[in-house]
Amino acid sequence: MKWNIYDFDKTIYKRDSSLDFYLFCLKRQPKILAEIPVLFIWSALFLFRFCSKTEFKEKFYRFLRHLDSVDDMVTEFWKLNRDKIAGFYLEGNKENDAVISASPEFLLQPICAELKIAKLIASRVDKHTGLYQGENCWGEEKLRRFRAEMEDASIETFYSDSLSDAPLARIAENAYLVRKKDIIPWPD
């Protein structure tokens, strides 16, 4: 089967959904500020390449441990942020659309279901602890997960805002770079 594959953040969703979700939670449950010292330390470690992206993001998602109900927060978040779904996607979505994203699966699953996106591949993050089950779904890991979870599939059209998604763009029949309102052919 041929699929239309989309990155999520800054592609289908106009911003970074993980960061928006964090800020949303911070406003409603400021007790997550307790994780700021840990976040600063791990940000520096990541910046100077002393830890992996997955290790850094696990520390970022530690704030989830402080939420009263992650599911309720996710539901409320999408009620308020659905309007950040890109118009080009809403106008052209198809039944063979899939999302492959570095954002957490628990965060994207409800909105992908609402948008009737047929397949979601995203980072597997425990919504109660912030711990990853596997690697952050980014770069080459996106291609590896695509091949593992959609074995006989091919990519008809691919959309992303990031050149880090080049591994998927290379195997697509058509690939496009999304730059805010502009959609341009993927650079060679």
pLDDT, average across residues 113-133:
98
Res 139 pLDDT > 90: yes
pLDDT per residue as tens digits for the range 82-91: 999 999 999 9
pLDDT per residue as tens digits for the range 16-64: 999 999 999 999 999 999 999 999 999 999 999 999 999 999 999 999 9
Decide the pairing of beta strands 182-185 and 172-179: antiparallel
Neighbouring-strand partners of residue 174: 157
Q: Measured between alpha carbons, how far is 140 from 93 in angstroms, rounded to an integer?
A: 25
3-state secondary structure of 85: strand
- Predicted pLDDT at 92: 92
pTM of the model: 0.96
Chain centroid to CA 22: how far?
13
